[in-house]
Amino acid sequence: MSRRINLWANIDWITVMVYLLMIIIGWVSIYSAVYNDDHQSIFDTSQRYGKQLIWMIAALLVGAAVLMTDNKFFFFFAYPFYTFTIFLLIAVLFLGTEVNASQSWFNFAGIQIQPAEFAKLATALALAQYLSTTKRKIHDVRNLLTAGVIIFLPVLFILLQPDVGSSLVFFAFILVLYREGLSGYVLFLMILFGVLSVLALLMNEINMLALLVGTSFVSYFAVSGKFKVAFKAILIFFFCVIIVLLFFRLFSPDTVLDVQLIIGATGGSLILLLLALLYRRNNAAMLAGLLIAAILYTYSVDYVFDNVLMPHQKSRINIVLGFDDDPLGQSYNINQSKIAIGSGGLAGKGFLQGTQTKFNFVPEQSTDFIFCTIGEEWGFAGSLMLHALFIFLLFRLIYLAERQRSHFARIYGYSVIAVFFFHIVINIGMTIGVVPVIGIPLPFISYGGSSLWAFTIMLFIFLKLDAGRMGSLR
């Protein structure tokens, strides 16, 4: 029995308290978001808030069950569970129910299960299992590749559903690899190219080119601190661009300006690269190379978008980026969302007093746009509190992860942290209009059983591993 007592004593109750606080905030927000005069009781199970309560109780039971489970179980069942989840992801393509043009749900006796939610958990476990086994060095390309396959195999099937939002979440695992020793440059490049992909579609080509060139020189200057060299490089670069433009003016004046500029910029960068290699300035060479890669990548994104994608795929990406032509489409949603949050003011309108979310101006207000209700009814004060709570949770989890003695627990912990972080940033960023609309839920707050369960299980497995950290496993 002493082990059992030990367990309860070793659990990080602070995290558990934060968790409880969050799901209650979520529940109350859902109540307020879909409040209905005819169903005033928050326990009314015909309404979403009543249903959410059932999900919450079930989630607590599942969480408790996770805490009772032996630590070894997670370790040994990581791979089988991962395999099973992949199987489910494939099965849902054929047997799932279609919701919003996406084949991503299983319907079991009225209960809807979304395998993609559990794929995050399975991937976290499998990644932790893989990376923690026998001193695998992440610098070994083969190990890195295998880790990449573990992370991106589910993405493949989730994209087929297609559920772009859920599949993007898996990029968060790069952060875990970084913590385990992946080069900082790779992390930087991943972030850079992610941002570029979105910008390439958002911005017009010439601005994009200017931005790329500008950042490259500024960052070169920042890295090397050599103003003269950077200045010379700028001169050489623009000299090349102008030569190319003149050449076109003389021989082929009809060529599209964009094409001229791409050729000019790529040519200029190539010459810089050659010069840098010749004079053995490695910093400069790297930057010139990066510049070329960035230009080509940016334009290939555009090219793929314009020429390779099917119309329906394009329109889906357009919707994701908020380019929907329909004025009542996504940009409308973001406007409504901003009005709701903005109208909250410093202190908010008060519980159940929000008009914007009440009047159904905001879409998906109990799921993806739940933050609107909080922002409108609790104002900036409420937003600040929620952000503080999230940051507290993330930092607390980092603290817990760092005190683990087993690699498995630490890697798993960071996976949980990274997934939470990604969800929080994308979801809130979307509601305040700084991130494209990607429909993923706000952890513990948004309405929905699948996501609540998945987040709860992820968190509680980590808490359980943490509670058992003294009886070290490897």
Partner 1 sequence: MKDRYSNRQYIIGAIFLLPVMFFIVKLFFLQVIDPSYKLSASSNVLRNVTQYPSRGLIYDRNGELLVLNQPVYDLMVVPGQLAPFDTAEFAQILEIDKDYIDSEIRKAREYSMFRSSVFLKQISSLTYAVLQEKLYKFPGFYVQPRTLRNYPRDIAAHVLGYVGEVNRRIITEKPDYSQGDYIGITGVENTYEEELRGEKGVNVFLVDVHNRIMGSYQDGRFDAPAVVGNNITLSIDAVIQEYGEKLMQNKIGSIVAIEPATGEIISLVSAPSYHPELLVGRARTRNFSQLAGDTLNPLFNRALMAHYPAGSAFKVINGLIALQEGIVDEYTDYICPGHYTVGRLTVRCRYHSSPKALSGAVQVSCNTYFCHIFRNLLDHPKYGSVTNGFNVWADHVRSFGLGERLDGDFPNELRGNVPLASYYDRFYGENRWRSLQLVSLAIGQGELSVTPIQMANMTAAIANRGYYFTPHILKSIENAEIDKAFREKTMTSIDSVWFEPVIEGMFRAVNGPDGGTARLAEVRGLDICGKTGTAENPHGDDHSVFIGFAPRDNPQIAIAVYAENAGWGSTMAAPIASLIIEKYLTGSVSRKWLEDRILSADFINRVIAVSDEQEN
- Closer to partner 1 at the Cβ: 254 or 325? 325
Least Cβ distance, residue 241 to partner 1 (angstroms): 34
User: Smallest distance, Å, CB 470 to partner 1?
Assistant: 12
For 32, residues 6+ apart whose C-beta sits below 8 A from its C-beta are 351, 352, 354, 357, 373, 377
281 or 358, CB closer to partner 1? 358
What's the CA gap between 199 and 294, in Å, rounded?
A: 12
Is residue 402 close enough to count as binding partner 1 by CB under 8 A? Answer: yes
What is the CA 31 to chain-centroid distance, rounded? 27
- The reply to whether 343 sits near partner 1 by the rule CB under 8 A is yes
The residues, ordered by sequence, that sit 6+ positions from 336 with a Cβ below 8 Å of its Cβ are: 356, 361, 362, 363
What 8-state DSSP symbol labels residue 203?
S
**Does the footprint of partner 1 cover residue 446 (CB under 8 A)?**
no
- Asked whether 374 and 29 are in contact (CB, 8 A), the reply is yes
403 scored as a contact of partner 1 (CB under 8 A): yes
Cβ-contact 163, 102 below 8 angstroms = yes
Is there binding between residue 391 and partner 1 (CB under 8 A)? yes
Burial class (CB in 10 A: 0-12, 13-18, 19+), 346: exposed
249 binds partner 1 (CB under 8 A): no
The angle at the Cα of 469, spanning 467 to 470, to the nearest 5 degrees, equals 105
Among 42, 90, 398, 473, binds partner 1 (CB under 8 A): 398
**Among candidates 418, 422, 427, which has minimal Cα distance to 448?**
427
Binding positions for partner 1, 294-333, rule CB under 8 A: 325-328, 332
Compute the least distance from the CB of residue 211 to partner 1, in Å.
Answer: 19
Bridge partners (DSSP) listed for residue 19: none
Which residues are registered as beta bridge partners of 112? Answer: 107
Q: Which two tokens stand for residue 156?
A: 């493949």
Is 292:273 a contact under the CB 8 Å cutoff? yes
Q: How far is the CB of 168 from partner 1 (least distance, A)?
A: 15
Which of these ranges, 79-87, 108-116, 287-295, 401-409, lies near partner 1 under the rule CB under 8 A? Answer: 401-409
Residues in contact with partner 1, counted by CB under 8 A, come to a total of 58
**From the list 103, 215, 224, 335, which residue makes contact with partner 1 (rule: CB under 8 A)?**
335
Closest CB to partner 1 among residues 29, 266: 29
Dihedral sign for Cα 8, 14, 17, 19, please: negative
Q: Write the CB contacts of 386 (distance below 8 Å, at least 6 apart in sequence).
A: 25, 371, 374
Output 36 or 255, the one with its CB closest to partner 1.
36
Q: Looking at 90, 192, 203, 339, which residue binds partner 1 (CB under 8 A)? A: 339
Our finding on whether 36 is near partner 1 (CB under 8 A) is yes
For residues 178 to 207, the per-residue mask of contacts with partner 1, x marking binding by CB under 8 A and - elsewhere, is xxxx--x-----------------------
202 vs 308, which CB is nearer to partner 1?
202
Q: Is 383 in the site for partner 1 (CB under 8 A)?
A: yes
| Minimum CB distance to partner 1, residue 463 (Å) | 18
Report residue 57 as tokens: 């109780």
Binding site for partner 1 (CB under 8 A): 36-38, 101, 175, 178-181, 184, 325-328, 332, 335-336, 338-339, 341-346, 349, 353, 355-356, 358-361, 375, 379-380, 383-384, 387, 390-391, 394-395, 398, 401-405, 410, 414, 417, 421, 425, 428-429, 432, 434
